[in-house]
Structure 1
């Protein structure tokens, strides 16, 4: 081993804490950024955040319940006085009209109406609370009987009561039992259908009707008819019920509007509060002589100023990216999705003299409102395939749309193979291989020709 000193020169990019924060803010969605600003506002006394809201608009948007109820007098609502409900601190009587019901609440309500003794009802209540998110019972009857110290016969009786409730298939222990309960309730059952559920669900999922027909000694068309009946059933009984999670609505970061024949980007300033520095703390810098107090205020002002600057820089970056997208995708905004051109992050980055990672962060989880609806900015970026005849790239999205269109219009008795689809696309100057067609078809969630065939 030898120890010696060497002098080397190298370039390094060391990201400061502020640089890291700037990058973090750029890639945040508007919702996350709003939460971050609210948190900073609570922690930094120097920062002021104000949402612009006109008092006149608040008053205008109030509901005059007294006037509204006049139209409901035929239902005897007029006998009640709602004249005072225009105050902000009052509770609207219309808040009590409806409430979202979860699956378990729905089942509990049905149990209350049953003509059974309270002991059986309590066992049913226990089983309801044991159901999983799909509406299935994941534990065995034996375990239930041990847990609450009852006989297996009593537990089975309670489970049968649960399985008789709405929605059909509730309380099943597996998908086969779930389907059988629904078949029995809808009176669709016969030995053939029950046999398919018990022994041929995998063949049914893959549309292998000839295998089913051979096993059951029936025609492929008959097997297909039975399969169609089974496919109308619901494998997840809990579907459609409130799960406890509220829907998060998408709010666009910007609007793209056509004004005087040209498309313009209008940033959605209502999403975030207007940030500023509290004047009281500015005065402290001039008058305060306590060094500790001065250092504290300076630190907080620097933090607030950097946040304000980063938010504005984020807004500016998104604006510039959207302006360039409008320039490259003018036909898309003018004529629709079929005119979407291939566009990559690299292309935008080079034209704006930015790094690809900056563009990627700027469009991450960001939405824009257009005449075509609210769309994810990222969805406007797509690769392309070169067309020798046309001399330009064709968007992958357009190729996928064409594949879907060909399959939608095919003869279901003789579905198009991937090779035939490939040949048709080549005739349209979309030069792709059969393997690429298969890849795009799978990405669209479309089965192969053998699994799409109808008898």
Structure 2
């Protein structure tokens, strides 16, 4: 086999992203919370950067750094045209600052223990048992195990458990779903033989609305089985539901406010999300010191990073602003009249109108929120697909199709629920041409059961 070496020249095109380009892309897709963290880290690493959250109005009176003067010392000159504006925004006080601490389930149960007319010994056993409850409010450990651990008789523990099961919320301290449901029915004085048998043997039939099976097994009418089933379905399978679990709820801060002024929608970017960045003027003198070359190069490098960070943040804000502005233009009816007027809108449509790439639009709306007269909404939720309507000559949003499916089901004869095929045919009559499989998909997304499970007797 012959082996040799040779040199060949080949010409090819490649797109190479510089570190600065990668940073711009990274900052654009960050949520406001992630951006805050990133800026905090940069502030720790770059002594040139100055950061201010509160004293924003002082920028009007203090000496400002001449960025154009600074950049002439650097090896690049493409930042001179960048403008840095000062904003005078009135700080809004969040109502969440006045929310009291939420009460956990265990705290609620401890309060009920303190009100018991029992000995301290029994109260201590109750508190220990409360600590053994899981996140759903169930006692998942075997009674024998806890009694052995406490070195008490099983009868004593059963007495303690019975006390806890009489506490609120109903169903607390149950050892299984069946026991949880029975406790709740007993407190409502509705636990009879039929209810017990349904809970013990027919929960799966109940979940599938197979009332014929239940009626046949209990020797009762289908209607009677359905009445029992309706009562059981009102119960809470998770007693801890609604109580504070210990996990902090993160409240969303909008990236922009959409306000209607004189008949027009105005975009007001939320300037309080991130600190105002500037460059420490003390380092300006080092640039003029020609003796210490190392210090000068260090400062140049840090100023380079700082100015590019400030520029990237401004560019991020500008891109998000332009995207929101275009969304308001395309979804004007939504902001005026509500969700039912939401039109189909895609990333490509926005990208083409703004002369940007789809990936840029996708990054610009990722984890971004806006405050509107409809509440705080995720920008991404405004991008929905549609189905072309022959009757109307335009696309109909999936939201409106789902709303029509929901309306048809709400108006159906509950004794003879309409099938997905009939829904499909009725939608086609209104110009909504979708398949039966798509109807089933949308119905499931609406958490509506199939026709055989919706039937009432």
**Quick check: TM above 0.5?**
yes
1:412-453: CA deviation from partner (whole Å, max 9, x where unpaired): 222222122112211211111222111111111111111112
- Residues 264, 109 of structure 1: CA spacing in aligned structure 2 closer, same or farther, 3 A cutoff? closer
Q: Which runs of 5+ in 1 are unaligned?
A: 57-94
1:44-74: CA deviation from partner (whole Å, max 9, x where unpaired): 3221222355899xxxxxxxxxxxxxxxxxx
> How much has 1:382 moved relative to structure 2?
0.9
Residue of structure 2 in register with 1:166 after alignment:
168
Is the deviation greater in 6-15 or in 409-418? 6-15
Question: What pairs up with 1:129-148 in 2 under 5 angstroms?
Answer: 129-148=131-150
Matches of 2:104 and 2:111, distance apart in 1 = 11
Residue of structure 1 in register with 2:396 after alignment:
394
Matches of 1:7 and 1:17, distance apart in 2 = 28
Residue of structure 2 in register with 1:89 after alignment:
none
- Residues 221, 53 of structure 1: CA spacing in aligned structure 2 closer, same or farther, 3 A cutoff? farther
Matches of 2:263 and 2:148, distance apart in 1 = 74
Is the deviation greater in 196-205 or in 351-360? 351-360
Residue 243 of structure 2, aligned match among 241, 244, 250? 241
Matches of 1:349 and 1:140, distance apart in 2 = 60
> How much has 1:183 moved relative to structure 2?
1.3
Matches of 1:379 and 1:279, distance apart in 2 = 44
Is the deviation greater in 302-311 or in 175-184? 302-311
Is the contact between residue 289 and residue 296 of structure 2 (CA under 8 Å) also seen in structure 1?
A: no
Matches of 1:163 and 1:258, distance apart in 2 = 54
Residue 284 of structure 2, aligned match among 273, 282, 286? 282
Question: What pairs up with 1:19-418 in 2 under 5 angstroms?
Answer: 19-52=21-54, 99-287=101-289, 289-418=291-420
Matches of 1:388 and 1:360, distance apart in 2 = 30
SS at match of 2:266: strand
> How much has 1:329 moved relative to structure 2?
1.8
Is the deviation greater in 437-446 or in 6-15? 6-15
- Residues 400, 96 of structure 1: CA spacing in aligned structure 2 closer, same or farther, 3 A cutoff? closer
1:304-328: CA deviation from partner (whole Å, max 9, x where unpaired): 2222111111111111111221222
- Residues 149, 304 of structure 1: CA spacing in aligned structure 2 closer, same or farther, 3 A cutoff? farther
Is the contact between residue 287 and residue 299 of structure 2 (CA under 8 Å) also seen in structure 1?
A: yes
> Normalization by structure 2: what TM-score?
0.84
> Normalization by structure 1: what TM-score?
0.85
- Residues 101, 256 of structure 1: CA spacing in aligned structure 2 closer, same or farther, 3 A cutoff? closer
Is the contact between residue 171 and residue 181 of structure 2 (CA under 8 Å) also seen in structure 1?
A: yes
User: Does residue 445 of structure 1 match 2:447?
Assistant: yes
> How much has 1:253 moved relative to structure 2?
1.1
Is the contact between residue 56 and residue 276 of structure 2 (CA under 8 Å) also seen in structure 1?
A: no
> How much has 1:164 moved relative to structure 2?
2.0
Residue of structure 2 in register with 1:85 after alignment:
none
Matches of 2:142 and 2:290, distance apart in 1 = 73
SS at match of 2:28: helix
Is the deviation greater in 2-11 or in 109-118? 2-11
Alignment coverage as a number of residue pairs: 417
1:83-136: CA deviation from partner (whole Å, max 9, x where unpaired): xxxxxxxxxxxx999642211111122222323333333232222112111111
1:183-227: CA deviation from partner (whole Å, max 9, x where unpaired): 122211000001111111111112221221111111111111111
